[in-house]
Amino acid sequence: MAFKNLLLEITRGVAVLTLNRPRVLNAMDQETLDELDRAFSELFADEAVRAIVLTGAGEKSFAAGGDISGLLKLDPLAARRLALQVQKTFAAIEKGPKPVIAAVNGFALGGGCELALCCDIRLASEMASFGQPEINIGILPGFGGSQRLPRLVGKGRAKEMLFTGDRIDAVEAFRIGLVNRVVPADQLLIEARRLAEKMAAKGRVALQLNKQAVENGLEMDFDRACAYEAELFALAFATDDQKEGMSAFLEKRPPRFTDR
């Protein structure tokens, strides 16, 4: 895969995808958004990739949002097309078959915060900060932030961030549940890789079923979601990995999953 604004490294089943526009704090222009869509589509289809880490180049920023100079030129119809396009890309990341870990190394603002929100897990360096500052330029989030943020941190906290446009630091982001953990800056990618490799060692089918259970189940009422979980639970019992995993547990040995 060749990209202009992304870097890609694949090691031991883990892909590290890096937004690579540090001179503009990894702000996402149309070309970068198109490349993100293509990159995730190809990584999800690549059998050699079992987990993905997403981060930003440089020490200052994960992604500082959208390219404002480009947004300024949009009319209402073009703005709607852009929002729907990026929402589709971010939904594909959120619902994709493999775990995606955001390693947030600095600013995650506007569209950058929305990108982190659509990942499965968020690790933050001590230097990270988060915010949806769109209200400061007369708009609102358009890439899913007004919907994912309250689902993650609760309606009241989300409204405060959305209505004020204020940033929060990594410690506050952890306190309200926006990130899973905070780590020293020099350990961020090490920890993200370690977590990704731990997930990559699991059976691919069970990992995908677990992700589907959470992502799809949250869109249902509780009773329907539990019935859906039961269907996925039953489906897992049709796999070789279920038999191998249980046999290995009883035999007190590591399982040898074959993704079948």
pLDDT at 182: 98
Cα–Cα distances in Å, from 239 out to 224, 236, 248, 251? 24, 6, 15, 19
What would the CATH number be for the domain defined by 6-200? 3.90.226.10
CA dist 163 and 189 (Å) reads 32
At 93, is the secondary structure helix, strand, or coil? helix
Residues forming a β-bridge with 54: 17, 102
For the chain, which residues make up each domain, given as ranges? 6-200, 204-250
Beta strands in 96-222 (DSSP E): 100-104, 107-109, 121-125, 129-131, 168-169, 181-183
**Catalytic center residues:** 114, 134
pLDDT at 65: 87
Alpha-carbon Rg of the chain, whole angstroms?
19
Q: What is the mean pLDDT of each run of 10 residues along the chain (260 residues)?
A: 93 97 94 97 96 96 88 94 97 97 98 98 98 97 97 97 98 98 97 97 95 95 97 96 96 94
Length of the chain: 260
CATH superfamily of 204-250: Lyase 2-enoyl-coa Hydratase, Chain  A, domain 2 (1.10.12.10)
At 243, is the secondary structure helix, strand, or coil? helix
Give the global pTM.
0.94
One-letter amino acid at 187 equals: Q
